[in-house]
Amino acid sequence: MKIETLRNQLDSLNIELERLTDREALELASQTGAAEEDSLFLYGIVGGKDVGKTSLINQLAGARISIDSDVLDEGTNIAVAYCSEADIPALEKRLGADARERLKIVPHEREELKNVVLIDFPDFDSRFLLHRDDVKRFGKHLQGMVWVTTPRKYGDHEFIEQLETVAQSSDNYYVILNKFDQVAGKADLPSVREEVLAYLTRDCKKKNVTPPDSSRFLMISALDPEAYEFPQLHSRLVRIHSPEEIAKAKAKNLRAEFDKNLARIRSHFALSDKIEEIDEALESICQTVHEIYGGDYFDTVQKRVEAMEELRRRISRGLFTRRIEGWPILRSLFYPLAGIVSTLGNRFAFAKTPDETPEDPRDALRYEGMTAAGWMRNIREKTEMEYPHLKRDMGPAPKFPEVVEQKFIHLIRDYEEQIVNRLSEGAPTPTIVRRILVYAPLIWFPILQPLLVQMIQYEGSLFSIAALGSGFAALISLFGAGQLLQSLVFLLVFYATWLIFLYSQGVRIVIKEGHQEFHNTWFQQFLPWIIEALSTPLQKTRIKLTEKNTQLQEIETNVQKELDRMMEGRGN
Amino acid sequence: MAVDKQMTGAIQNLVLSAKQLKSLSFTPEVSSALMTLASLGVLRHNLGRDRILFVGLIGCTGTGKSTLFNSMAGQAVSQTGWRAHNTCGPVVLIQDTFLKAIEDLEQRFGSLLLPAFQRGVLSPGESASTVGAPGIMQLIQFSSRQRHPFALIDLPDINTTLARDDNLLALEILPWLDAVVFLVDDETIYHRDYERPVTVTNELKQSRLCVLNNRGRDRVDLDHHDLIEAKSFYGVERIHVLPEIRGKDRFENEPEFTQFKQDLFNLSAPAPDPPLFKRIAGLAKTVIDENQQRLDALNSLEEETSVQIQNQIAKQPALSLEKILNDDVLQALNHLGLKRFAITNVAQFFKRVFRTGSLKRSFQIAFGDRKDGGLSQIFRMDGAKLENEVATRLADGRERIHEMIRRDQLAESIPLLSSRLREMDARADSESYKVSLKKIVGEFERECQGLITQDSVSASIKNDPLLAVALLTGLIIDFATIPYFGSWLLVPSAFKYLPLGKFESAKRRFQKSIQDVIEQNLFKIRDQLREIRGGLILEKTDPLFKALQICAGYSGHEN
């Protein structure tokens, strides 16, 4: 039963692929499960009108079992089975409803044809549709086929059409060129063999089915059982088929069925080709995006972004707040003085005032008169044109303008955050000297400096206790408003200068490093994102197709395993 | 008869304008089929009433078409043999006088006889191994005193895979025949591949013969009911049963062959025109429908484009002068004449003093009389900024419209149209509008400079009498109601925001003309659409369209 499940799996895969690709599902070759159980081996003798099927079966049976008129008429009307008396119940069970009224059974008691049933079919190339149906209906019950043609008919398209949907292994498929006597005078056996086989093989290759086996291609004249290769055919068909041989042949058919179906599904839906094509398309999208958005486009946008003064201010300020986080005094001083510090800091850093300030990200992304969204659309269209088969898989075009603008705003925000983070990480931890330098003024201006001044002004020795004492006295007495104010002003001026210096240093760093940082953001975030937006549906299809491809492979290995198991079971 | 005459005229016109039809690239299968049938129509019409008949051999491979052909030619011309698919292209046996007549006609109309094929001519007695190659029509001329009323065409088979790969050439040529000889043999007499040619033959009302090349059976019972059925299937009264020829490669004096020849010579009915005309009518209708489809799609696109452009223009805010004018100039222009007494000028004055430190100049700009011309010196519009602004707006508009065009459902369904639309350049061409932009800027500048140099209270009263009256009234009311309050300063401030005066109108005109430039440029998309239209659509006034219409209108009258 396992085979049956695999068959169903393959069937549903076939239908799913129809949905996934733009091609119709295939009509798969199939055999009935019933054939696996009994030990009958059914040979179907099929072929076009008047190719001598009936003569052949009569010749093989050694009796006139099928009516073979000498008048030109429509020919055999219903199928005729030549079957051993003992096998009739099994045959009827096998054919079941399919046989009703369309099959005449001719019993025999020949020992050598036990287990083997020969069935003569009506021609399948006639205008009478019923005849074709018979072959279709019975086809799935057959284990072997004897396809009869003639020198005049071997080019007919019927053969290849039938071979496409037939499940039998080429090992169980005989191709018989009847009426060889008609060409006997014009060509010899080898040349006819070569010509016909070449013709059939070419057709088979076009349709991707296994061509007929040359050892099973025989040329006969059904009217003359002694001539040409008829004796060979007779000895191959009319003989005792051992149960092992029959089982082997059936297993071969199963293998052939799956091989053929798998191969046809693969070539029809061209899974790996399509996956390859998608890969190519993805690659080309990636390349085009880099070509377009890299280079000149990037330079233009970068200039614009750097010209966004507001943005640079935010970044410099962010960086600056980070840098003075460890300096409580500086930090508390910076907030009231932020305006002055940043303005002067910018000026000292020689940051140029930009001449154009795009406010809208849409404007910042414009290049050669087109928005980023326009370029994106161009890329999509280019891909669509280059890979017309993938148009359906690319899905409906996303709303590029909305998508790209939002992304760009996010991008700028990220860029801002990242640059602040990265630059502040690299800042050195303040050394002792620096700390002293920053905090010393707190003692210097209110205390040391006035003390020193007082001491200098003291008449007498500068370095005497008296001078010091006078200094302290003055200091204490003068700790009034005037001196304090004076020292505060000094403090303020000192720290403000310090802040401005620090700030301008930061701005310089931002200008220097921001360049690189924006480059990174653009190439490592924005471009991958654009590529993603353009290729997501394709990626999805690719995943699905790969999945189906794996499923196909799984089915293939499972079939292999199952068949091996069956063969082993027989061996024991 | 009048209908037929009109029809033949129309068909001739079709053939004469074949190039034009081709350039419009309608569905290739349809238009090439139409042209082929039209050539046939012209050929038939011009050869006259007692034209030669084209007789073709239709049959499966191996039924003996080429053998019969060679027998009729009396020489081995067409390749025969047991192999499948010997003949790949048509081989035509034709009397030289007829060939001459056809060639004379072709001087006028271009290729008429099977125009899709390259032509090879074989002179009498000559035999070539390449006869019947794909894509080549081989003509074999013979000059005979006996008047053969027909040209015999040997055709490829109809059932091999190779023939199918060539799209069943025989069926393609079938409409050209006046009479069809169906060749069958014992193996193929009921073959289903005969169904299609028989249907076509029935439809075209061609005369027909049926030849059974009997090579398998001892006897053929022509009265057997199966064969009677076959006769009615092929539409013949009798089936010519030719015997097997052994040892010879063609029929010579066999009585059955002679009888067949006799029957062939007796054929006199040319294929009637109406079925052919009907086919042409069907094809012409398809072409017209396709044309109409394109026309509808483009018309609706044009309309939508116009609407979209109008919408775009209506939605766009007027160009703000702040973007393109220097602050001082803008200040001065906004406060021309009486408006210079507005309170906002005080703020402006202080602002400017703090920024530049120049008291005198600031006062002049804020309150001063501008007659001195100093201001008109600094009056300068930033051309680059303006161009940039216009370019931005244009690009925006173009992109939106292109987006709309590309997403148009109707156009999307017509592959050729949608690909042409995609080829349209969405980028704004930056050069053409710059000239007109410069002109507009120049005009506006001159106007503004004029206003500045004339600026005085009296001039502005003259310029804007309405404003002067309103201002005066406001001041009187103010003075009379709240004395000494000094709100007189507020009154001109209020007037500053009233869009009155010469500058306002100049500004509006300027904005309007900028918008016009944008609009004009956007309408270029419509021109592009019209250009596309020229290459894709057959206008109703075109003679070719009229010919097609006459063809399509043919309803046929059976007689």
Contact A220, A179 (CB under 8 A): no
Name the residue among A152, A376, A308 with its Cα closest to residue B216: A152
Share the mean pLDDT of chain A.
80
The reported pLDDT for the residue numbered B559 is 42
pLDDT at A572: 45
Identify whether the C-beta of residue A208 lies closer than 8 Å to the C-beta of residue A260: no
With 0.90 as the threshold, say if the pTM is over it. no
pLDDT of A488 above 70: yes
Strands in A137-219 per DSSP E: 144-149, 173-177, 217-219
Q: What percent of chain B has pLDDT over 70?
A: 89
CB of B409 less than 8 A from some CB of A: no
Q: How close B415 comes to chain A (CA, Å)?
A: 12
Task: Report residue B333's pLDDT band, with 50, 70 and 90 as the boundaries.
Answer: confident
Q: Which two tokens stand for residue A326?
A: 């460890």
Of A73, A155, A183, the CB nearest to B226: A73
Contact B217 A373 (CB under 8 A): no
Show residues of chain A in contact with B159, CB under 8 Å: 125, 155-157
Higher pLDDT, A294 or B355: A294
Would you tell me which residues 34-73 of chain B have a C-beta closer than 8 angstroms to some C-beta of chain A?
Answer: 60-63
Give the CA distances from residue B514 to residues A51, B312, B390, B448, in Å, rounded to whole numbers and listed in that order.
85, 14, 8, 16
Q: Each residue of A129-170: pLDDT tens digit?
A: 666 677 777 778 888 888 899 888 888 888 888 777 777 787
> Reading across the β-sheet that carries B150-154, which strands appear in turn?
B118-122, B136-142, B91-95, B150-154, B53-59, B179-185, B207-213, B239-242
Instruction: Decide: B267 and B371 in contact? Cβ < 8 Å.
Output: no
B396 inside 8 A of chain A by CB: yes
The answer to whether the Cβ–Cβ distance between B220 and A72 falls below 8 Å is yes
Interface of B with A in 216-235 (CB under 8 A): 216-221, 224, 226-227, 233
Q: How far apart are CA A62 and CA A237, in angstroms?
A: 13
State which H helix or E strand residue B7 sits in: helix B2-16
CA-closest candidate to residue B143, choices B103, B104, B94, B101: B94
Are B189 and A72 within 8 A, CB to CB? yes
Q: What is the mean pLDDT of residues A223-229?
A: 84
The conformation of residue A242, written as its DSSP 8-state character, comes to -
Are B392 and A373 within 8 A, CB to CB?
Answer: no
Q: Which of B187, B427, B430 sits opposite A153 (nearest CB)?
A: B187
Token pair listed for B371? 């007659």
What is the largest distance, in Å, between two alpha-carbon atoms of chain B?
A: 138
* pLDDT higher at A568 or A242: A242
Tell me the C-alpha distance between A119 and A106, whole Å: 10
Contact B554, B3 (CB under 8 A): yes
Residue pLDDT, tens place only, B475-526: 777 777 766 655 666 666 666 666 667 777 888 889 899 888 888 888 888 8
Helix (H, G, I), strand (E, B) or coil at B166: coil
A348-390: per-residue pLDDT in tens?
776 655 555 555 666 677 777 677 777 888 888 888 888 887 8
Looking at residue A498, what is its pLDDT?
82
Q: How far is CA B5 from CA B9, B40, B281, in A?
A: 6, 15, 15
Residue B424 has pLDDT above 90, yes or no: no
> Which residue in the set B161, B226, B392 is minimally distant from A157, CB to CB?
B161
Q: Do B134 and B166 touch, CB atoms closer than 8 A?
A: yes
CA atoms within 13 A on the CB side of B131: 24
- Residue B144 confidence class, pLDDT cut points 50, 70, 90: low
Q: What is the mean pLDDT of residues B256-276?
A: 85
CB atoms within 10 A of CB A212: 20
Q: List the single range of A238-252, A300-314, A539-553, B170-184 with lowest mean pLDDT.
A: A300-314
DSSP letters of B496-512? HTS--HHHHHHHHHHHH
Amino acid identity for residue A62 in this structure: G
pLDDT score for A357:
53
pLDDT of B58 reads 92
Q: Do the Cβ atoms of A156 and B430 come within 8 Å?
A: no
Q: Is B206 on the interface with A (CB under 8 A)?
A: no
Put simply, the answer to whether A157 touches B190 (Cβ < 8 Å) is no
Contact criterion met (CB < 8 Å) for B194 and A127: yes
Instruction: Determine whether the interchain pair B192/A127 forms a contact, defined as Cβ–Cβ distance below 8 Å.
Output: yes
Average pLDDT in chain B: 80
Amino acid at A320: F
Concatenating the DSSP letter of every residue in B242-306 gives: EPPP-S-SS--S-HHHHHHHHHHHH---PPPHHHHHHHHHHHHHHHHHHHHHHHHHHHHHHHHHH
Higher pLDDT, B63 or B474: B63
- Whether A555 and A10 have beta carbons less than 8 Å apart is answered as yes
**φ and ψ at residue A84, rounded to 5 degrees:** -65, 140
B215 contacts in chain A (CB < 8 Å): 182
Is any Cβ of chain A less than 8 angstroms from the Cβ of B276?
no
Per-residue pLDDT at B182? 93
B162 contacts in chain A (CB < 8 Å): 155
Tell me the chain A residues in contact with residue B422 when contact means C-beta distances shorter than 8 Å. 381, 385
Q: Is B456 helix (H, G, I), strand (E, B) or coil?
A: coil
Cβ atoms of B524 and B256 closer than 8 Å: no
Two tokens, residue B265: 């010579």
Q: Are strands B150-154 and B91-95 parallel, antiparallel or unpaired?
A: antiparallel
Of the residues B183, B192, B221, the best mutation for testing chain A's interface (the one with the most A CB atoms within 10 Å of its CB) is: B192
Do residues A189 and A181 touch, judged by C-beta distance below 8 A?
A: no
Chain-chain contact of A72 with B227 (C-beta, under 8 angstroms): yes
Distance from CA of residue A456 to its chain's centroid? Answer: 87
For the segment A534-539, the average pLDDT, to the nearest whole number, is: 86
User: Residue B534 corresponds to which tokens in the numbers above?
Assistant: 């020229």
Work out the angle at residue A559's Cα, subtended by the Cα atoms of residues A554 and A563, and round it to the nearest 5 degrees.
150
Collect all residues of chain A within an 8 Å Cβ-Cβ radius of residue B385: 356
